[in-house]
Structure 1
Amino acid sequence: MEVAGQARAHVARLDLTAAQVAVLDGQAHTARALWNLLHEYCTFRQGRLASVKDCDAAIRQARREIDWIGRLPAQAAQAVLRTYRQAWANYFNPGHPAKRPGFKGRFRSRMAVDVPQGRDLNIARLNRRWGAVNLPKVGRVRFRWTRDLPGVTRGGPAGRITGARLVKDAFGWQIVFRAERRVPAPVAHRGEQVGIDRGITVALALSDGTTRDHGEWLTSGEKERLRRLEKKSARQRRARTPGRPTSTRLARTYDRIARLRATAKRRAVDWQHQTTTTELARTFGVVVVEDLTITNMVRSATGTIDQPGRNVRQKAGLNRAITGQAWGRTPCWSTRPVIAAGWW
């Protein structure tokens, strides 16, 4: 028996021209600016938060009066409003860890554009390696075909594409398809129970005596390249005139550093996904994870002027090691077995 409604995401790389990249960059900056305008409109009203009707009317009026807001498609603008209202709903929910919504900075926020309607995408497969998709105000764009999408290819998985989100990272623009798939009805997992202890020298130590470890996220050559790029960026920052915009060479150095760090993160996420979601979730019926307050464990030991900290450099190295292992992300992907916290 199959059940419907299981949400899945599929990420694919877009093959864009320079003109299409410029269009998507403009849409993403407009979406960020629209978020900031909504936040100012809602938080500066006296006594109450603006309603959805008021915000929608303000967006429509802004699209008529301000030319550059028209670069963002109307449905993407409505998606910004929905995301903003959901951020407030999460903040007011006592059981949700979300913080109070705030303004989005140009260099501190991820560039993204929503395509809420799946029917507007008109996805088609061109050949074994590439597919094509329609993007609003961008046109027909190729994307890297690595997996069959539900409801697109004949004989592929059952389901449908409900929408997409365009996200820019260090490697360029990616498209994240939101898929609704029909999957087999879940059954009870009859595997054994196991406890996991997260560490630094050994990534995962299981209660059955086995361990799960990984190699370095970057090779020796990549580490040396990263070290040289960081020294180069430090020299370029010292030569930069205060108050002047970042030079093209410094921006290029930052991009190279970001790509190397993104490569390390992708390898770490891939290892964690294969280890937790794939191996451990299929092997064991119950996975018990120790309850650690990681945010407190990685706090700085610098202290204050009146009470300076001790062993600050050693504590900073420990914090980097904990952050590099991504303890908070490792148990969160084991979604198939029952996860229990507070082990030993």
Structure 2
Amino acid sequence: MLGVLPAQAAQAVLKAYFQAWKNCWEGRAQAPAFKGRFRSRMAVDIPQGRDLQIVRLNRRWGRMWVPKIGHVLFRWTRDLPVGRRADKGNRVSGARLVREADGWYVVFRVQREVPEPGMHAGPTVGIDRGIVKPLALSDGTFREHGPWLTEGETKRLRRLEKTRERKRRARKSGERNSRRLTRTCDQIVRLRATAKRRAIDWQHKTTTGVAETFSRIGVEDLAIARMVKSARGTVEAPGRCVRQKAGLNRAISGEAWGRTVTMLEYKAAERGGSVVRVPAPNTSRRCSACGCVTPGSRETQARFVCKNPGCGFEANADTNAGRNIDHAAGQAVSGRGDLRSTRSAKRQPPTRPRAA
């Protein structure tokens, strides 16, 4: 069987396996383990770009060569350095065929030389990530979105989920899924994939605009994995408000806060900016005007009113948190403060945001 497998594909598997152990040894991930066939994405790696033989047929379609498969047609949606446009510093170095819920996609790996970005001259900003307001900026603006699915698609998804559960209850233990149940599950997966594509599209457009506008972007260093941990507890110590916590976990996961920061980091670096992670404690409780943390200042979930007698600052709670994040990011960059000390500090004088 190994003789049939292309040597480049086998080498790519070994490289991915070695990288997985390296991430585990450096504390970025857990130890790699075997995945079930139904819990992993089907993919075909083509690590050598010279084997692709990419040809553009017309404005919409292109053709590529996949070892052991043959010629494959694909929709031409991006300009690729092929033919006379390809050279040593700008070429396609590999590709991957990935199976998604609605079909197969091809992802090309392009190697190109880019100039060193200059210093970004824009202003600074702090971003508070939330659920009601997905992104609240320190300048008082918000980046919001609507539901990822339309009303009709949401009703159809709910109807399909009820149908799936009804068919599962009718299935005997150990019996294989029927074709109708499999078709229902496929329809559910396609609808959820549609919602995910729309979410990623919104994140790409939003993060690109933020990275082009601001030079330094401050974000909270959140432990998202612990925030979405289940509150079910154990048999000896059962949790409380489990259903409410499960709904909150779904809302946090749906916003994909970690993916937003990842996009901001590489897009800001490409444009000469930077992303600074700051400690999260007290960013929503501290007054961004006087720097005091006074009980009761967070009157409601959306309103912040400083209870310091000499201040009385009022603002949107998320905007106030964004300003605190921007202040802390400025201290981290300038070196005037120790971010570790903000975990126990009760008072922190604010600093004015400055352009980097």
Same-fold status (TM-score > 0.5): yes
Residue type of the alignment partner of 1:341: R
Letter in 1 for 2:45: D
Of residues 206, 231, 240 in structure 2, which corresponds to 1:275?
206
Instruction: Quote the Cα distance in structure 1 between the aligned partners of 2:62 and 2:189.
Output: 28
What does the per-residue CA deviation read over 1:104-147, in whole Å, with 9 as the maximum and x for residues that have no partner?
A: 21111111111011001000110010000001111111100011
**What is the Cα deviation at residue 153 of structure 1?**
6.4
2:12 to 54, 74, 79: 79
Whether 2:225 is the aligned partner of 1:295: answer: yes
Q: Is 1:63 paired with 2:8?
A: no
Residues 1:324 and 2:254 aligned together: yes
* 1:155 to partner: Cα distance: 9.4
Q: In 2 relative to 1, CA 152–271 (structure 1 residues): closer, same or farther, beyond 3 Å?
A: farther
Alpha-carbon distance between aligned partners in 1 of 2:252 and 2:155, rounded to the nearest angstrom = 22
Residue in structure 2 matching 1:254, options 185, 188, 209 = 185
- Name 2:38's counterpart in structure 1: 107
Question: Contact (CA 8 Å) 1:152, 1:160: kept in 2 or not?
Answer: no
- Report the RMSD for the aligned CA atoms in angstroms: 1.9
Conserved 8 A contact 2:63-2:74 = yes
Q: Provide the residue aligned with 2:277 in structure 1.
A: 341
Higher Rg: 2
Deviations 1:129-181, CA, capped at 9 Å, x for gaps: 0000001111111100011102446599x710001111111011111100012
Q: Could you tell me which residue of structure 1 aligns to residue 238 of structure 2?
A: 308
Unmatched runs of 5 consecutive residues or more in structure 2: 279-324, 329-356
Alpha-carbon deviation of 1:247? 1.8
Q: 1:125 touches 1:153 (CA, 8 Å); kept in 2? A: no
Q: Aligned-pair distance for 1:258?
A: 0.6
Give the SS at the match of 1:107: helix
Does residue 120 of structure 1 match 2:51?
yes
Contact preservation (8 Å) 1:150, 1:180: no
Alignment deviations for residues 265-320 of structure 1 (CA, whole Å, 9 cap, x no partner): 001011111111x1000000000001111111111111222222222221111111
Stretch deviating more after TM superposition (194-203 or 249-258): 249-258
- The residue number in structure 1 matching 2:112 is 181
Query: 1:211 Cα deviation (Å)?
Result: 0.6
Query: Is the contact made by 1:150 and 1:181 (CA closer than 8 Å) also made in structure 2?
Result: no
Task: Give the paired residue count.
Answer: 274
Shift, 1:182, TM fit: 2.6
Distance in 2 (CA, whole Å) between partners of 1:91 and 1:326 is: 23
Q: Mapping of 1:1-344 within 5 angstroms?
A: 63=2, 70=4, 72-92=5-25, 94=26, 96-152=27-83, 154=85, 159-276=90-207, 278-334=208-264, 335=266, 336=268, 337-342=273-278, 343=325
Q: Which runs of 5+ in 1 are unaligned?
A: 1-61, 65-69
Counterparts of 1:307 and 1:272 in 2: how far apart (Å)?
39
Structure 2 Cα separation of the partners of residues 341 and 243 of structure 1? 49
Identity %: 61
Counterpart CA distance in 2 for 1:266 and 1:154 is: 31
Mapped to 2, the partners of 1:253 and 1:153 lie a distance apart of 47
**TM-score, normalized by length of structure 2?**
0.73
The code of the aligned residue for 1:83 comes to A
